[in-house]
Amino acid sequence: MLFSVFVPNRHNSYAWMNIVFLVSFLLMGKIAPYAILFGYFLETLIIGVFNVFKMVAASRYDGSGKSIGFLVLFFMFHYGMFVAIQSLFVFVIVGIDGQTFIKEPFHIIENYRGILSLEGMTYVLPILIGTQLVKFIFDFMLPQKHLEFAAYEIMYKPYVRIVIQQFTVIIAFFFFILFIDATLTAALLLILFRLLIDIGLSAVREDTKVLDYLVEKLYDGKTSKDELRKQILLFSE
């Protein structure tokens, strides 16, 4: 079962597409290692945007009605605050050695402008947006997951994935700082870690042994297995 999770298939194709393009451009010198690092950091915002689309799609069938406007605004506010705090934390770490464009962590807008101007970011962002678009279409809309979950449930969905992603990126930042001469290796390791995370999450699908295994392991006798199954599917989305 473990080996089959990593075999390329329709469900994890977006993850393999991501790594093939990023590694290719990185090794060809089209993308700077720091662009990979900050690109994954910016992906937090990209995931948030697509989550709004998912909420709106679900609201057409869950009875949310006009309240979807409030839910979207509320999501944008608390998700934006989460991203802002994460940004400050990352900017402080990156600015420690004084070797990057990050000079003042609290100059958030200026720092983001610096991120967007990194060499290769014009390649990184389209790749990350494209992979999330593919995932949105083929792993959410076409399987009609917008009929399974309510908009208010989807609103909290990104946080599990984002916390894992940000933890990985922050660890990678320390590698970049400690091993200045090995930034290419650190970028490749980051891409590999992200691939493992994406493939692991994509393996959690309805009617799979992975999902059945997780349900059995997490079942505590209090929450029904059907509800537990739904929660796992939602937060692995």
- Residue 74: phi and psi, rounded to 5, are -65, -45
User: pTM of the entire structure?
Assistant: 0.83
Q: 3-state DSSP call for residue 206? A: coil
Predicted local confidence at residue 48, as pLDDT: 92
What one-character DSSP code corresponds to residue 148? T
CA proximity to 70, closest of 162, 78, 82, 231: 78
Dihedral sign for Cα atoms in the order 105, 184, 22, 140: negative
Q: 3-state DSSP call for residue 105? A: coil
- Among left, alpha and beta (phi > 0; psi -120 to 50; other), residue 233 is alpha
Question: Residue 15: is its pLDDT beyond 70?
Answer: yes
| Residue-range domain boundaries for the chain | 10-202, 204-237
Q: What is the pLDDT of residues 165-202, one digit of tens each?
A: 677 767 777 776 666 566 777 788 888 888 888 887 77
